[in-house]
């Protein structure tokens, strides 16, 4: 069995919490009073906050980079086992990240059973499996330079389909129940790709993957408008993804990544639409100023994050119909920060937006909408968004064995220094 090395222990967290407990309790009571005036029972909200579950992608615990360079810090994980240790640490502190999404082949385990046992010993499990046909792998027969699932050559498409089914096989041994497919297929120049034919080829490939999955698995298809193809992509937007999901069948759902839209797209509305149509499979959190996953969740547009959660909560309250519970994951690139710190902070921002969304007075909002009172409708949302829900987050962690202030606890533990020595 692989070694965990240094870990943040229960005793350490207890001591950390002991020093903060009194303050958290006082702030919590004061907030409880305020919420009571609004007809809300704080303990119920805290319970819901603690029930949130956000998956961590294995690839986010290593330092990311751009095509201009990468500047890793010391003590980075060197193997999938060490990645799991880092993810487990985040769960130990936050208590809401019990699952890890693996990326094949980056995290291909020699022995999936061994990896599953190791994860269980850390108190975590596995989320969706992620395939990779946007890079060429060592020893593979055909290149993905000009696409994978939508490639013009059938042999390339078959190779890509086989890779996806191999990911499912590994996932079965790990206890995963879903496959996320994101492809880099597209064109760099006008005229390079036949829009219609390439989409048909993609759909046929998705059909083949879906047919090869176990019955209780779900397939998430992730759209993105650009990159690595800079002119067009095959699965470019939610409408196309919806069409594909609808056509292939009831086990196929759309995956929305906050960073995969053109600037200013109304993403909360995309969420509402897909929920209404029963095709929202999951959501990838991150934030950006210019493109994709450059920045940590909530760092640029916390109001947008809140509005997304407002729609997710709406969906849950109205009954999801045939929509499964959406799978949440963080999908970010950490280029200049300690990845574990960025992830801890992001988890907190995501949970904060969720709790704020739980506070929306939906009855009042419905009345204002009926009366076409735009000013009061916005004010109702803002009343929830501007509430400092920090005490709820802290109390939720105290009650579930996490750290009152997970980021402070992480630094106090000198985790990264320990890992710097262990992972020389």
Q: How many CB atoms lie within 10 A of CB 423?
A: 16
Q: Does 331 bind ligand AFD (CB under 6 A)?
A: yes
Give the integer Cα–Cα distance in Å for 202 and 234: 8
**DSSP characters for 7-64?**
---HHHHHHHHHHHHHHHHHHHHHHHHHHHHTT--HHHHHHHHHH--EEEEGGGGS--
Q: Does 130 bind ligand AFD (CB under 6 A)?
A: yes
Give the integer Cα–Cα distance in Å for 119 and 117: 5
Binding segment for Mn ion among 133-141, 300-308, 330-338, 345-353 (CB under 5 A)?
A: 330-338
CB of 116 to ligand AFD, least distance (A): 21
Q: Does 287 bind ligand AFD (CB under 6 A)?
A: no
Candidates 257, 294, 296, 349: give the one binding Mn ion (CB under 5 A): 257
Output the six-digit token pair for 335.
């280029």
Q: Does 331 bind Mn ion (CB under 5 A)?
A: yes
Q: Judge if the upstream peptide bond of residue 105 is cis by omega within 30 degrees of 0.
A: yes
Distance of CA 137 to the CA centre of its chain: 25
Size of the site for ligand AFD (CB under 6 A): 8
Annotate each residue in 233-272 with x if it binds ligand AFD (CB under 6 A) or - if it does not, as one string. ------------------------x---------------
Residue whose CB is less far from ligand AFD, 287 or 405:
287
**DSSP characters for 267-322?**
HHHHHHHHHHTT-EEEEEE-B-SSSTT-B-TTSS-HHHHHHHHHHHHHHHHH--TT
Residue whose CB is less far from ligand AFD, 328 or 368:
328
CB of 190 to ligand AFD, least distance (A): 23
Candidates 292, 338, 348, 349: give the one binding Mn ion (CB under 5 A): 292
Q: Does 222 bind ligand AFD (CB under 6 A)?
A: yes
Q: Does 91 bind ligand AFD (CB under 6 A)?
A: no
Residue whose CB is less far from ligand AFD, 206 or 313:
206
Q: What residues make contact with ligand AFD under the rule CB under 6 A? A: 130, 182, 222, 224, 257, 284, 292, 331
């Amino acid at each position: 069995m692989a070694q965990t090395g240094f870990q943040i222990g229960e005793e350490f967290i207890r001591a950390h919490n002991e020093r903060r407990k009194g303050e958290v309790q006082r702030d919590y009571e004061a907030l409880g009073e305020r919420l009571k005036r609004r007809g809300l029972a704080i303990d119920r909200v805290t319970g819901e906050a603690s029930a949130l579950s956000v998956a961590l992608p294995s690839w986010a615990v290593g330092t990311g980079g751009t095509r201009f360079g990468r500047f890793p810090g010391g003590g980075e994980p060197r193997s999938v086992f060490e990645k799991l240790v880092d993810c487990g640490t985040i769960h130990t502190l936050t208590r809401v990240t019990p699952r890890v999404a693996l990326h094949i082949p980056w995290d291909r385990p020699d022995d999936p059973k061994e990896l599953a046992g190791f994860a269980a010993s850390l108190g975590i499990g596995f989320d969706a499996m992620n395939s990779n046909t946007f890079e060429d792998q060592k020893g593979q027969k055909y290149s993905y330079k000009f696409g994978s699932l939508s490639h013009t050559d059938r042999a390339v498409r078959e190779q890509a389909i086989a890779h996806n089914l191999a990911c499912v096989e590994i996932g079965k041994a790990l206890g995963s129940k879903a496959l996320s497919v994101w492809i880099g297929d597209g064109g760099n120049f006008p005229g390079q790709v036949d829009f219609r034919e390439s989409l048909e080829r993609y759909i046929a490939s998705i059909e083949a993957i879906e047919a090869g999955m176990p019955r209780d698995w779900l397939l998430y298809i992730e759209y993105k408008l650009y990159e690595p193809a800079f002119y067009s992509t095959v699965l470019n937007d939610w409408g196309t993804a919806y069409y594909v999901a609808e056509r292939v069948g009831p086990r196929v759902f759309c995956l929305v990544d906050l960073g995969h839209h053109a600037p200013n797209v109304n993403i909360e509305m995309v969420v509402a639409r897909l929920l209404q149509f029963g095709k929202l499979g999951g959501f990838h959190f991150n934030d950006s100023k210019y493109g994709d996953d450059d920045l940590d969740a909530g760092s640029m547009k916390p109001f947008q994050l809140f509005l997304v959660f407002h729609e997710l909560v709406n969906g849950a309250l109205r009954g999801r119909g045939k929509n499964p519970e959406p799978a949440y994951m963080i999908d970010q690139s950490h280029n200049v920060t300690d990845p574990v710190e960025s992830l801890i902070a992001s988890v907190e921002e995501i949970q904060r937006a969720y709790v704020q969304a739980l506070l929306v007075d939906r009855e009042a909002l419905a009345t204002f909408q009926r009366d076409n009172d735009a000013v009061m409708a916005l004010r109702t949302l803002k009343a929830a968004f501007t509430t400092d829900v920090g005490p709820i987050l802290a109390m939720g962690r105290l009650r579930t064995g996490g750290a009152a202030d997970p980021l402070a606890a992480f630094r106090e533990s000198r985790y990264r220094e320990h890992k710097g020595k262990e992972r020389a």
